[in-house]
Amino acid sequence: MGTLWFCLVAVMLAGYVVLDGFDLGVGVLHLWLSRNDAERRLLIRSIGPVWDGNEVWLLAAGVTLYFAFPALYAQGFRGFYLPLMAVLWLLVIRGVSVEFRGHVGGPIWSRLWDAGFAFASILLVVFYGVALGNVVRGVPMNGSGHFSEPLWTNFQPVGQTGILDWYTLIVGLIALAALTLHGASWLAVKTKGEIRKRAMKCASTLWWPLLILTAVITAISFQMLPQLFLNFRSRPWGIAFPVIALAGLFGTKWYNRIKQEKLAFGSSCAYLIGMLTSVMFSLYPNVLPSSLNPFQALTVANSKASEHGLKVGLIWCVIGMALASGYTIYTYRSFAGKIGVREAEMEQGEEREQLVTASR
């Protein structure tokens, strides 16, 4: 039962990264791809109907950790208190910037909201990558299952580690490259005209750094953490996960080259899913390794809730995931189709008229 819940958490995290990943990528590109206020409105409009709904999957993953792996939830939030508070504030800044841009206008305010949206998106992506790097590398957990990490120590990924070191920073850079490419692929699907052309060019440019960083971090991880390879050797079927990641990575390049933007976006989704499932597969049965002593790690067995609770909770989890999935599909189908600068301006004008009417 613990293994099943481990897989459910992996599915929810992968769903969050795929769905919220592209609007984070759009935020990273917000000031880079746009040339004027109308184009910046277009970029926000491309994610406007779905960006906050995508974050439901992050909430679902957090609630699932709290319910299924209470020891991991408790120790993880205690040890990662500083970065988690930073993530919370960045989510607030990002949400406020998106929402207030359409309500508090003017040259100065618009620039402030645009800068806040881009700044928070960039830092969030890097923080998520650094967090994943910490989980893969391990944390300085003692015999009681407790740990506390400062922001950095000596920048080495062994011993008394900090949140930041050269290994976790490389993972953060991979996350930045991958989700920015993912956002560019989404913009190519959702927009038309010059923005679409720039997005496809951006995706093509980012592909090579992502390929190099993926190869580098894979080689470093297997050399520095040989235990990651054990699961692949004992369960050869797990090689399917990195194969999915590779197929997605090369598919993104090919379909972007032949201007099949929907297939390119689908390939980007496959790359992210393949990378995350490869990491989860290589970590199992650990849920939070120890950088001091492998035998002090938190595992599925020593961090899960009771069997009865997991069995009862599984029923409600399946119902909740079905409802969330159905709502997500409905939302994306309702707002399907491309938009251009003119459509974004018309929708913006309609929103302002509704606000004026409501204020009266």
Question: What whole-number distance in Å separates Cα of residue 7 and Cα of residue 281?
Answer: 9
Confidence of residue 121 (pLDDT cuts 50, 70, 90): very high
What does the block give as tokens for 257? 């080259």
pLDDT of residue 339: 84
Res 360 pLDDT > 70:
no
User: pTM for the full model?
Assistant: 0.91
pLDDT tens-digit profile of 255-286? 999 999 999 999 999 999 999 999 999 999 89
DSSP characters over 39-108: HHHHHHHHHTTTHHHHTHHHHHHHHHHHHH-HHHHHHHHHHTHHHHHHHHHHHHHHHHHHHHHTTS-SHH
Return mean pLDDT, the chain: 88
pLDDT of residue 358: 47
Question: What whole-number distance in Å separates Cα of residue 34 and Cα of residue 38?
Answer: 8
What is the three-class DSSP state of 287?
Answer: strand
pLDDT of residue 228: 85
What does the block give as tokens for 279? 């990491």
What lies within 8 Å, CB to CB, of 359 at 6+ separation is none
pLDDT of residue 198: 94
Q: What is the separation, in whole angstroms, between the first and last Cα of the chain?
A: 57
Q: Where are the domains of the chain?
A: 2-201+280-355
